[in-house]
């Protein structure tokens, strides 16, 4: 009896799964950062790249998956046996990604569990040994930074000092993997249902945050800042490169997850409509999330600016014994001039201690990544009323986003494994999923050591970037030129009953590959030109980040990460070629 | 003569209480910051209350139970509001050591603060550090409790799903073997499967399905 391929319960489960995979943490913590760097005019290159690069490549992957009805390895083997290395490379990259991505969910759990306290643990500094003051490291940095670097990560001063595995993050990581296992246990049956939650709940939380954020004091400052277009940035090639990169990675192309999801579709499914829908929803979510983020930024910046002003006012009031309440923000400058003229000697003593408070500089502090999610946002949340509620909502949303992406990542690894007859005949699919989760969890323990965050940064920056560009480039070339664009077009027409629009053909054949080559060349030259790679290490004595060089073994690890996925493509092609030659050599004498 | 004595006493007092004098402490109040609209004006009556509170604190120190309000001297009151104070001994010639005054104030800081509706930040005794409240650590950290609850729920859910998956697979494995047996039996005996006798399906080479044919005859009397 032939095994029937599992299918999505309903078509919308597929759409929701794609949305929850594509809409991930990058929409929340990378896109607002880029908007801050390049101003509101960043939306122009972003939208251009969406139509030129994002939609066509997404459609291509979904179409390949739906047509071949197999995971990434099988699909590319069907296209051409020499290209099954692309599938293997996808699986390897997905494996790296799922190993390091789940630690973010573990941190999300840690913060979520700590949100049920009053006061929030990251809002106050702990006391030092003899209770006369606050902890030194916390005084130098801020309480939110202290909680992140000391209490959550317990970070070591450099990547060389490993420390041991710490039980608190290890427990949270175990829980995160158990949660992922629970969601993927039954394959598409369970993934489809979980996708409803992971796709919809973040929007609910974002809407609540939007309403709350817009009513916060100072939110308009942030929004005005975001939407002021910095027109000169349009001419900056880096803006366009970053837009292309953001679209590329935000949609999760090249990991094999989209192929895996689409392989469970009915062949007659209109994947063109779904591709357009998913990419539009992904981009609008990015814009929506950045509106919320900038409202929160505005609130935080205004709060810090006013605290800074209050500190200056207190300093002047105390030094000159002025009447309490006399100095306000509005008359500060005039009074300063007055004091400088009437009491120049004393003023010159006090002057070096007066900080320059500027709302602009507060808004300019652009942060991305884990720093934005766990430091900047928590700093804003601790100043809101009923901060426990907002904190719980926020970290719950982060977890939903992270879990949704993890579902896609693990699907990319599991689908080729369950497709392969060798493995699936020996083990049931629950056991395969369990094994994959167990192995990933065990390797992920590296990120729970004291130097874990540095290794996380290595994986985050290098594991996927170059390899993905190469993978997607080879994918496009394979479909258009090796398999044949006309043949693929006929396949799609036979499958869905709709003709392929010329726009997609033009994009697939010319524009998108060219764009990827440009990105690839840019990144390679960037890496080569910067020379030694450096990283940011946390200095506990100063309470801030310092730049250090990577040691040799870390550089070797980076090289290994990039090589292990990119080398799959030529190696497997070579292996297939050799095997074909041997087989032909065997059969030749018989014929 | 009396005037001379008065001037002498005030002169001595003035000497005892001076900014940066030995055993003198500076106090700084931020009434408007703390109370906003409900701020009271700092006048001589408030100063009297302050002196009373300091004297009260000193009376709690062993050997100093005889401290009177008149032993507490205030000077250099500014608009801020800030001033200096010293506590003298009963002879009014020497000031009490700073250490004693410091410990007395620290012990009764809460009482002094609440007399003026202020707190440690708005009623500052410079050079007298306030003891910070120790953190309240529950015996079991809260996060572990929540973690434990969610962990148990997830483990239970996984076990249920795995077990139901195993049961489903066992039923599926038994299912096909039952169908095989039935097909074997059909050839020898008439067995009813799904209400249709297997035999009629076998005879006539499967070209005519008896069940269907009978219905047709009933329906179309042409």
Segments of chain A scoring below 70 in pLDDT: 1-3, 587-591
Determine the pLDDT at residue A1: 38
Task: Note the pLDDT of residue B77.
Answer: 86
Q: Report the pLDDT value the prediction gives residue B5, as an integer from 0 to 100.
A: 67
| Helical H segments across chain B, by residue range | 2-16, 31-35, 44-59, 98-107, 109-115, 142-188, 198-202, 210-219
Whole-angstrom distance, CA of residue A553 vs CA of residue A564: 16
Asked whether the beta carbons of A291 and A322 are under 8 A apart, the reply is no
Task: Give chain A positions within 8 Å (CB) of B129.
Answer: 132-133
Q: How far apart are CA B122 and CA B31, in angstroms?
A: 7
ipTM: 0.84
- Cβ <8 Å between A132 and B157: no
Question: Using the beta-carbon criterion (under 8 Å), do B81 and A324 form an inter-chain contact?
Answer: yes
Distance from C-alpha of A67 to C-alpha of A543, rounded to nearest angstrom: 55
- Please report the sign of the dihedral spanned by the C-alpha atoms of residue A470, residue A475, residue A480, residue A482: positive
Question: Under an 8 A CB cutoff, do A322 and B79 touch?
Answer: yes
Chain B contacts of A171, Cβ < 8 Å? 147
Q: Contact A84/A72 with Cβ under 8 angstroms?
A: no
- In this prediction, residue B186 has a pLDDT band, given cuts at 50, 70 and 90, of very low
User: Residues of A annotated as binding site for Na(+)?
Assistant: 22-23, 27, 250, 282, 401, 405
Q: What is the pLDDT of residue B192?
A: 57
**Residue B132 and residue A179: Cβ atoms within 8 Å?**
no
* Per-residue pLDDT at B197: 58
List residues bridging with A535 in a β-sheet: A548
The residue among A96, A2, A32 whose CA lies nearest residue A467 is A96
Q: What is the pTM of this model?
A: 0.83
Q: DSSP readout, A24-75?
A: SHHHHHTHHHHHHHHBGGGHHHHHHHIIIIIHHHHHHHHHHHHHH-S-HHHH
What does the alpha-carbon distance between residue A313 and residue A318 come to, in Å, rounded to a whole number? 9
Residue in B30, B134, B155 closest to A127 by CB? B134
A544-582 b/e (C-beta count within 10 Å ≥ 16 → b)? eeeebebeeebeebbeebbebbbebbeebbeebeeeeee
Q: What's the per-residue H, E or C state across B50-90?
A: HHHHHHHHHHCCCCCCCCCHHHEEEECCCCCCEEEEEEECC
Contacts of A185 in chain B (CB under 8 A): 158, 161-162, 165
> CA-to-CA distance for A361 and A356, rounded, in angstroms?
10
- Residue A2: the pLDDT is 45
* Cβ–Cβ below 8 Å for B165 and A428: yes
A275 and A59 Cβ atoms separated by less than 8 Å: yes
With beta carbons under 8 A apart, name residues in chain A contacting B176. 1
Is B163 an interface residue toward A (CB < 8 Å)?
Answer: no
How does A5-41 read in b/e, with b if 16+ C-beta sit within 10 Å? ebbbeeeebbbbbbbbbbbbbbbbbbbbbbbbbbbbb
User: CA angle at residue A101 from A459 to A398, to 5 degrees?
Assistant: 135
Q: Which of residues 324-383 of A touch B (CB under 8 A)?
A: 324-325
Distance separating alpha carbons of residues A143 and A379, to the nearest angstrom? 8
Is there a contact between A110 and B31 if contact means CB atoms under 8 Å apart? no
Using the Cβ of B148 and the Cβ atoms of chain A, whether some distance falls under 8 Å is answered with no
Which tokens belong to A155?
Answer: 């970070």
Residue A4 touches partner B, C-beta closer than 8 Å? no
Minimum-distance CB partner of B132 among A131, A175, A318 = A131
User: Which chain A residue has the Cα nearest residue B164?
Assistant: A186
Distance CA A80, CA A76 (A): 6
């Amino acid at each position: 009896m032939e095994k029937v391929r599992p299918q999505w319960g309903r078509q919308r489960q597929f759409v929701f799964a794609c949305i929850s995979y594509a809409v991930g943490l990058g929409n929340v913590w990378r896109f607002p950062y880029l908007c801050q760097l390049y101003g509101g005019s960043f939306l122009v290159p972003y939208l251009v790249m969406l139509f030129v690069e994002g939609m066509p490549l997404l459609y291509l992957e979904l179409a390949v998956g739906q047509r071949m009805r197999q995971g990434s390895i099988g699909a590319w083997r069907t296209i051409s046996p020499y290209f099954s290395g692309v599938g293997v490379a996808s699986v390897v990259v997905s494996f790296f990604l799922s190993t390091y991505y789940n630690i973010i969910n573990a941190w999300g759990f840690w913060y979520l569990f700590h949100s049920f306290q009053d006061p929030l643990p990251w809002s106050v500094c702990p006391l030092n040994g003899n209770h006369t003051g606050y902890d030194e490291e916390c005084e130098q940095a801020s309480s939110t930074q202290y909680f992140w670097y000391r209490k959550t990560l317990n970070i070591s001063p450099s990547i060389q000092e490993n420390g041991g595995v710490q039980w608190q993050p290890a427990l949270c990581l175990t829980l995160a993997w158990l949660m992922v296992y629970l969601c993927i246990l039954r394959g598409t049956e369970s993934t489809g249902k979980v996708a409803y939650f992971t796709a919809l709940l973040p929007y609910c939380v974002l809407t609540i945050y939007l309403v709350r954020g817009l009513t916060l004091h100072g939110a308009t400052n942030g929004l005005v800042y975001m939407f002021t277009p910095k027109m000169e940035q349009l001419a900056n090639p880096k803006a366009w490169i970053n837009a292309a990169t953001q679209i590329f990675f935000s949609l999760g192309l090249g990991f094999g997850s989209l192929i895996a999801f689409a392989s469970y579709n009915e062949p007659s499914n209109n994947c063109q409509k779904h591709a357009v829908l998913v990419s539009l929803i992904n981009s609008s979510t990015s814009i929506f999330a950045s509106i919320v983020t900038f409202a929160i930024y505005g609130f935080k910046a205004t709060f810090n600016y006013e605290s800074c002003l209050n500190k200056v006012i207190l300093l002047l009031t105390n030094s000159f014994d002025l009447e309490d309440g006399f100095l306000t923000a509005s008359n500060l400058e005039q009074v300063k001039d007055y004091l400088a003229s009437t009491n120049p000697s004393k003023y010159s003593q006090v002057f070096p201690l007066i900080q320059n408070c500027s709302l602009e500089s507060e808004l300019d502090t652009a942060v991305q990544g884990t720093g934005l999610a766990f430091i900047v946002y928590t700093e804003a949340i601790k100043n809101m009323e009923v901060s426990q509620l907002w904190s719980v909502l926020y970290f719950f949303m982060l977890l939903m986003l992270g879990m949704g992406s993890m579902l896609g990542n693990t699907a990319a690894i599991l689908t080729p494994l369950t497709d392969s007859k060798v493995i699936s005949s020996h083990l049931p699919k629950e056991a395969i999923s369990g094994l994959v989760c167990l192995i990933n969890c065990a390797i992920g323990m590296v990120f729970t050591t004291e130097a874990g965050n540095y290794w996380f940064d290595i994986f985050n920056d290098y594991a996927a970037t170059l390899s993905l560009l190469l993978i997607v480039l080879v994918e496009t070339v394979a479909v258009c030129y090796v398999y044949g664009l006309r043949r693929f077009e006929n396949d799609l027409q036979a499958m869905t009953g709709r003709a392929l629009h010329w726009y997609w053909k033009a994009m697939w054949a010319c524009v998108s590959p060219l764009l990827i080559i440009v990105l690839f060349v840019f990144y390679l030259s960037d890496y080569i030109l910067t020379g030694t790679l450096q990283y940011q290490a946390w200095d506990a004595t100063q309470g801030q980040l310092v730049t250090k060089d990577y040691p040799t073994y870390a550089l070797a690890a980076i090289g290994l990460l990039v090589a292990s996925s990119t080398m799959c493509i030529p190696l497997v092609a070579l292996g297939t070629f050799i095997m074909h030659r041997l087989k032909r050599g065997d059969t030749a004498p018989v014929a | 003569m009396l005037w001379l004595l008065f001037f002498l006493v005030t002169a001595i007092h003035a000497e005892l209480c001076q900014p940066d004098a030995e055993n003198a402490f500076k106090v700084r109040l931020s009434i408007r910051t703390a109370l906003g609209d409900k701020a009271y004006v700092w006048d001589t009556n408030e100063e009297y209350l302050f002196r009373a509170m300091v004297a009260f604190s000193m009376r709690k120190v062993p050997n100093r139970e005889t401290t009177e309000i008149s032993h507490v001297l205030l000077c250099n009151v500014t608009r801020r509001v800030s001033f200096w104070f010293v506590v003298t001994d009963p002879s009014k010639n020497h000031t009490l050591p700073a250490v004693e005054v410091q410990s007395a104030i620290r012990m009764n800081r809460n009482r002094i603060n609440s007399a003026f509706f202020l707190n440690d930040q708005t009623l500052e005794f410079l050079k007298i550090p306030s003891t910070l409240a120790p953190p309240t650590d529950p015996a079991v950290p809260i996060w572990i409790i929540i973690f434990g609850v969610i962990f148990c729920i997830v483990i239970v859910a996984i076990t249920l799903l795995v077990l139901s998956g195993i049961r489903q697979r066992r039923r599926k494995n038994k299912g096909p073997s039952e169908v095989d047996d039935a097909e074997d039996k059909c050839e020898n005996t008439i067995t009813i499967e799904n209400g249709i006798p297997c035999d009629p399906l076998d005879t006539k080479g499967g070209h005519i399905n008896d069940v269907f044919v009978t219905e047709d005859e009933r329906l179309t009397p042409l």
